Amino acid sequence: MVEPADIDALVEEARRAVAGAGTTEEIREVASAVAGKKSALAGVGRGLGALEPEQRKELGRRLHEARAAVDQLIEGRRAEITAAELARELAQSRVDLTEFIPGSVPAPKARGHLNLVTQTQAALEDVFVGMGFLVEEGPEIETDWYNFGALNIPPAHPARGMWDTLYLDLGPPESTLLRTHTSPVQIHLMERAVAQGQLPIHAVMPGRCYRRDTPDARHLPVFHQIEGLVVDKGISFADLAGTIEVFTTAYFGPDIHSRLRPAYFPFTEPSAEYEVTCTICLGSGCQTCSQTGWIELGGCGMVDPAVFDAVGIDPDLWTGFAFGFGIDRCAQMRHQIADMRVLTDNDLRFLRQF
Kindly list the residues in this chain that would bind ligand DAH in the complex (CB under 6 A): 181, 183, 227, 265, 268, 271, 298-301, 322-324
**Minimum CB–partner distance for residue 269 and ligand DAH (Å):** 10
**Minimum CB–partner distance for residue 323 and ligand DAH (Å):** 5
Q: Which CB atom, from 73 or from 247, has the smaller least distance to ligand DAH?
A: 247
**Cross-strand partners of 142:** 177
* Cα–Cα distance for residue pair 146/188, rounded to 1 Å: 8
**Minimum CB–partner distance for residue 271 and ligand DAH (Å):** 6
φ, ψ for residue 17, nearest 5 deg: -65, -45
* Cα–Cα distance for residue pair 218/216, rounded to 1 Å: 6
Counting beta carbons within 10 angstroms of the beta carbon of residue 236, is it exposed (0 to 12), middle (13 to 18) or buried (19 or more)?
exposed
* Cα–Cα distance for residue pair 257/265, rounded to 1 Å: 23
| CA dist 23 → 73, 75, 81, 181 (Å) | 15, 13, 6, 94
Pairing of strands 222-232, 134-135: unpaired
The answer for 301, left when phi > 0, alpha when psi is -120 to 50, beta otherwise, is: left
**Minimum CB–partner distance for residue 190 and ligand DAH (Å):** 12
**Minimum CB–partner distance for residue 128 and ligand DAH (Å):** 14
Which residues have a Cβ under 8 Å from the Cβ of 219 and sit 6 or more positions away? 211, 213, 340
Q: SS3 for 305?
A: helix
Q: Which CB atom, from 181 or from 224, has the smaller least distance to ligand DAH?
A: 181
Q: Which CB atom, from 79 or from 141, has the smaller least distance to ligand DAH?
A: 141
Q: Which CB atom, from 112 or from 262, has the smaller least distance to ligand DAH?
A: 262
Q: Which CB atom, from 113 or from 157, has the smaller least distance to ligand DAH?
A: 157
Q: Which CB atom, from 30 or from 327, has the smaller least distance to ligand DAH?
A: 327
**Minimum CB–partner distance for residue 239 and ligand DAH (Å):** 13
